Chains A and B, each alone.
Chain A
Amino acid sequence: MLEIKNLHVKLADEDKAIIKGLTLTVPKGEVHAIMGPNGSGKSTLAYVLAGRADYEVTDGDIIWNGESIIEMEPDERAAKGVFLAFQYPMEIPGVAGLTFLRTATNSVRKKRGQTELTTPEFLKVVKDRASKLNIDFDMLKRPVNVGFSGGEKKRSEILQMAMLEPSLCVLDETDSGLDIDALKVVSDGVNALRSPDRAMLVITHYQRLLNHIVPDKVHVLAEGRIQKTGGKELALELEQSGYAEFQGKAA
């Protein structure tokens, strides 16, 4: 279970508070959506969960599986099962996708006390999971994300997620830059990973992603805190009314 308790976050090198008292609980087996206007702190929340150094937690705590993770390095969190699908995945020139996947997979397996995959084992798993995401195996021989289309980048993120077998998946604007067909492929990939052992936090601007990845709960994030929580129908309401009512009223 993910428990975010009264979280306050500011930028590490300025005094600007971004998240101001955010409290949220996501039990395992559930998918929660976070929606909100631009600048509400959605991406910041994703980065803080993953442990990015540009942000400073000034108050509150993040508990994952009963353990506070805010002092952990990003790779320790990854070993604990935290995975962030990036809104803008990074290009890594010269590093083949397969090399990256294998390094990452074996790195977390080692930290989790699992045996590392041998090359044949690894290739078998990758081929299987890549084909389910409509990823051409040749794409994995290209450098990570270099020259990828928006759709390829997002599919590659979901493949990494499938390979690393995380228990907490945070998807940051995974629908951005996707056409309808790609959206479907990516959503199917995410849905295939839904499991009773896994918690998911889906961050999005738009309701349309939630037609494909149907959430158990929807939270409205504005002005750095959760303003409203409801079922999947809340997303449809927001699509009608917009976020205006949540803005300008926070402390």
Chain B
Amino acid sequence: MAAVEATVEQVKKIDVDQYKYGFETEIESVKAPKGLDEDTVRYISAQKNEPAWMLEWRLDAFQRWKTMTEPTWAKVHHPKIDFQDQYYYSAPKKAAGPKSLDEIDPVILETYKKLGIPLKEQEILAGVQGSRVAVDAVFDSVSVVTTFKEELKKAGVIFCSFSEAVREHPELIRKYLGSVVPQSDNYYAALNSAVFSDGSFVYIPPATRCPMELSTYFRINEKNTGQFERTLIIADRGAYVSYLEGCTAPMRDENQLHAAVVELVALDEAEIKYSTVQNWYPGDKNGRGGIYNFVTKRGDCRGHHSKISWTQVETGSAITWKYPSCILRGDHSRGEFYSIAVSNGYQQVDSGTKMIHLGKNTSSRIISKGIAAGFSQNTYRGLVSAHRKATGARNFTACDSLLIGDKCGAHTVPYIEAKNSSAHFEHEATTSKISEDILFYCRQRGLSQEEAVALVVNGFVRDVLQQLPMEFMAETQKLIGISLEGSVG
């Protein structure tokens, strides 16, 4: 299998300490002063030339945030975060309002090249049908460049940076912003609502199939800058969109705070497929550094027969706190959650989903694969609930954990609540240890230890890998191999 070989090649090239994407780009940037108060919120809003209603919304969120406290229920441990010791806004100086790639700072383009984002190639390939991907690249806080806009425009699809959407499509933003994740939903969502920097906005008009996969690569670059993206995707009646989000970040000593919010809205008979590959810096082999990833992702199946599907591959971050959820409000709506969470070193993952069945005959499916290695802790935390009126609700959940070595932990915390007698919920969970017998078997057949682990783990997660768009599958297999490098003696 080519992917396994490629993994091994890459693994050989890097050491645990040498995170592949751990380089820093030197670009002049505009920063808000350190710390967070009302002035910071006003500063961010002013930098973005936002209308008054947007500022009001932010300030409202900020007021609510001040009254809230950090959640402590997750199975993660970290030193207390000093929210006054962070920068809340940073934008590359020269990158304001580019008209084409030529206007982009070459240093940024170079960074993308290192990351393997083929922006230029995509321009060249613009006329090719089939495997096209539009990238809205977020470099720190400002969307630097958006490709394929013209083509999408023809289909009536809006795909732009969040800031642009605030200026160009205020009616949509005002209607949907915070309608899935309210400002006061939780501590980190409130923080994001106050200081969000940028992100992506997608609107698919009725009965439209988005002509290509939409993709955003996020990248945290400026030292000590928490990044607070805000993504809002709306699929109108009968629309379909598949959205890919992939992430890498440079190497750091300080922990970096990241608190994104993603809101999805699917109206009648609409479908949204949201895929994530998250590969932020996980910290070094002694557990120093790494990203704190506190994300709120939620989809609202607002219309009947709508469908939202989350697929995530989480290999990075020192701490992951993330529960992409579905509110199954419309009758006959469907939610899906497919997850691969890999933790190694001293990483801590507390992730899962919530399936809230409100409408009649709603269904959901959860397939979660956790792989823990090194000294890491990997927790699946999920809620499946059926409202009193959600007759005929159905859920199937399968949570499988794989342990590599004897210093790591896997935990499964499912909550199941059925408030009507016709709900039908199934839950399966397994925990297993990667077997020495299987590894020996593979090695007897000529595979190195690394190849054997990568092969076995990729087999373990196969059900979920198959849910990923083709563009991500091969990349993900490699990523899993790299993430587990050095996990077995």
Chain A residues within CB distance 8 Å of chain B? 50-54, 73-75, 77-79, 83-84, 86, 89-95, 99-100, 102-108, 111, 143, 160, 164
Contact = CB atoms under 8 A, between A and B. Distances in A.
17 contacts: A50-B444, A54-B436, A73-B443, A75-B446, A78-B443, A78-B445, A79-B446, A91-B438, A92-B456, A93-B459, A103-B451, A104-B445, A105-B446, A107-B445, A108-B445, A111-B446, A143-B459
A18 to B, nearest CB: 17
A107 B459 contact: no
B459 A103 contact: no
Contact of A160 (B436, B445, B456): B445
Interface residues of B, number: 26
B448 interface: yes
Interface stretch (B183-191, B231-239, B460-468): B460-468
A86 to B, nearest CB: 7
B1 interface: yes
Given A90-B441, A103-B451, A164-B446, 8 more contacts: A50-B440, A92-B442, A92-B456, A93-B460, A94-B460, A100-B455, A104-B446, A111-B446
A100 B448 CA distance: 13
B445 A100 contact: yes
A107 B441 contact: no
Contact of B447 (A86, A103, A143): A103
A90 B435 contact: yes
Contact of A107 (B451, B456, B458): B451
Interface of B: 1, 4-5, 435-438, 440-449, 451, 455-456, 458-463
A78 B449 CA distance: 13
A74 B449 CA distance: 9
Contact of A106 (B5, B436, B458, B460): B5
Contacts of B447: 75, 103-104, 107
Contact of B455 (A86, A92, A105): A92
Nearest to B369: A94
Given A78-B443, A104-B445, A94 B1 contact: no
A107 B444 contact: no
* 6 cross-chain pairs, A with B, having the tightest CB-CB distances, nearest first: A94-B459, A95-B459, A108-B446, A94-B462, A104-B445, A74-B443
Contacts of B461: 94
Nearest to A86: B441
Nearest to A116: B5
B443 A103 contact: no
A80 to B, nearest CB: 10
Given A104-B447, A108-B446, A164-B446, A74 B458 contact: no
Contacts of A75: 443-444, 446-449
Nearest to A144: B459
Contacts of B455: 92, 95, 99-100, 103
Contacts of B462: 94-95
Contacts of B451: 103, 107
A108 B443 CA distance: 10
Interface centre among A77, A100, A107, A164 (most CB of B within 10 A): A107
Contacts of A79: 446
A156 B462 CA distance: 22
A236 B437 CA distance: 34
Nearest to A103: B1
Contacts of A103: 1, 4-5, 447, 451, 455
Contacts of A106: 5
B456 A74 contact: no
Nearest to B441: A90
Contacts of A102: 1
B465 to A, nearest CB: 9
B221 to A, nearest CB: 37
A74 B1 contact: no
B458 A94 contact: yes
Contacts of B440: 50, 52-53, 74
B4 A95 contact: no
Contacts of A92: 438, 441-442, 455-456, 459
Contacts of B436: 53-54
Contacts of B441: 86, 89-90, 92
A54 B1 CA distance: 29
A53 B458 CA distance: 24
A196 B438 CA distance: 32
A108 B451 CA distance: 12
Contacts of A78: 443-446
B421 to A, nearest CB: 36
